[in-house]
Structure 1
């Protein structure tokens, strides 16, 4: 891949990652409830889903998904329902009692955050359709394909990790003081619960 083309890929990847979506909401929620460092588990799950999307598109399965309305709608509504489920669960979550005055201890396992991050990104058929439109701009068919796909995947994943961890997760740290009180936790649970539900509704309706 030419250096100028790679720079264009970096710019496009950064713009995509900085666009708020379910992954950003999930990352911020994890950072607030489990801490900045442990939020990386959820980010890692999201990246595995991203790699799967790239593989699906590169293998040609993405075209099948995008051109099969029933399959596309099925994945779409399952993904939307999962986001709504996460939102409802967040709304119903009870605050963690904290007698010491610090933020509540992390209760969720890393695997649980990883699994949720995986499903949040994986159950988004629009990501597959997006990569179908995005990837060909940076792939040259007259050159070896595998090295190009590898470079594209590594670049997009690294950029997304940086943005998710050092922009959204780090940004959530500014609200971390709210988790020290039960009232603050309830407020945050309601905010992120509503955000998950809104994003799920948009995925289903728009």
Structure 2
């Protein structure tokens, strides 16, 4: 159906890939542990939106540019790395409030920023674009006339699986750390650890090769 081949293999491989810890997982964990459930949820939704955009880019053929052009790959890579390092430094220098509240209902603007950060972090990771170009075509029947439709269906299934995992991850991570985050001194240390983690992820992305 829809020109999909070896669908069962796609599901198994997709789930295993999603469960493998990576930049997205660490970002969601960092937000969830240091800032709470809603922040973790917004970061998960931001990551998922970024994956959706990569899927659209791949269908439109824009991701091929990253695969073909070394310059385009390097530009996007360093933009993503710079953004992650910026987030890390910001987390390190921001002073923790002594009256910290979990899931502050007045933090709509803050949650919007977290969502946008998740989108940008994922979109500016060229490795995700290359993943879509390398992984999904293996399950597209080359004889099927509407290959773009097949690619879209597989991409959306992968997105759905990934979104479910990211949301569950954010909930569990925030739940486990509620008592720690309630103490502002622990929160200060969590902010520093999160900042260092983001900087490390940025450096790792900067050193990445095709």
* Runs of at least 5 residues in structure 2 that lack an aligned partner in the other structure: none
Q: Which residue of 2 aligns with 1:186?
A: 188
Q: Which residue of 2 aligns with 1:59?
A: 60
Shift of 1:4: 7.4
Change beyond 3 A, Cα 1:77–1:8? same
How many residues are matched? 204
Shift of 1:56: 1.7
Shift of 1:38: 4.9
Q: TM-score, normalised by structure 1?
A: 0.87
Instruction: Work out whether 1:10 is the aligned partner of 2:14.
Output: no
Change beyond 3 A, Cα 1:56–1:36? same
Distance 1:29 1:77 in 2: 21
Distance 1:104 1:114 in 2: 15
* Runs of at least 5 residues in structure 1 that lack an aligned partner in the other structure: none
Q: Which residue of 2 aligns with 1:175?
A: 177
Q: Which residue of 2 aligns with 1:199?
A: 201
Q: TM-score, normalised by structure 2?
A: 0.86
Change beyond 3 A, Cα 1:78–1:38? closer
Q: In terms of mean alpha carbon deviation, does 115-124 or 40-49 score higher?
A: 40-49
Contact 1:97 1:104 in 2 (8 A): no
Q: Which residue of 2 aligns with 1:22?
A: 23
CA root-mean-square deviation? 2.3
